[in-house]
């Protein structure tokens, strides 16, 4: 009934590729990585790096803070749901630590600014990985 507020270990596999002058990223959850691996998709998993992340377990209070963070108010005082803002705030409030490093190999703290600087593919992969790790699947719920 009460959440112990333990940290959830998440792994995201990623790679940066060059597309002309633009950088593209591939991001996979651990489950997606294992599916590619078991399917023999050697090219798809080639050169992937692993980012290890510790995220907070969702409590009722944290859930409500994240929900409220996704609401914006316009000039007329009307409140609207902003899904993009919700997703951004969700990562900012849930990521506790990670093993990210800069190009020189120095640790990069999971600050609000650094989380906002993530490539979209990496941010989305972290969100998917959290969903996979934090919630029971339908099969697990049945057991």
Residue in the structure block whose two tokens are 């699947």: 137
Tens digit of pLDDT per residue, the chain (143 long)?
888 878 999 999 999 887 777 779 999 999 999 999 999 888 888 899 999 999 999 999 999 999 999 999 999 999 999 999 999 999 999 999 999 999 999 999 999 999 999 999 999 999 999 999 776 445 544 54
* Ramachandran angles phi, psi of 101, nearest 5°: -130, 160
Percent helix / strand / coil, the chain, rounded to 5: 40, 30, 30
Other beta carbons within 10 Å of 82: 14
pLDDT given for residue 140 in this prediction = 47
**Chain Cα centroid distance, residue 29:** 9
pLDDT number for residue 42:
86
What integer pLDDT is reported at residue 43 of this predicted model?
82
Least Cα distance to 123 among 49, 29, 6, 54 occurs for 29
pLDDT at res. 141: 45
């Amino acid at each position: 009934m009460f959440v112990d507020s333990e940290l959830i270990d998440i792994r995201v596999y990623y790679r940066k590729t060059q597309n002309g002058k633009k950088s593209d990223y591939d991001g996979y959850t651990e489950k997606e990585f294992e599916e590619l691996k078991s399917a023999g998709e050697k090219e798809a998993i080639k050169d992937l790096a692993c980012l290890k992340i510790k995220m907070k377990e969702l409590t009722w209070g944290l859930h409500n803070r994240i929900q409220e963070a996704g609401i914006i108010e316009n000039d007329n005082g009307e409140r609207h749901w902003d899904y993009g803002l919700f997703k951004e705030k969700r990562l900012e409030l849930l990521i506790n630590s990670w093993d990210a490093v800069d190009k020189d190999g120095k640790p990069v703290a999971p600050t609000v600014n650094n989380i906002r600087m993530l490539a979209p593919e990496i941010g989305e992969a972290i969100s998917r990985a959290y969903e996979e790790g934090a919630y029971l699947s339908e099969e697990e719920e049945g057991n």
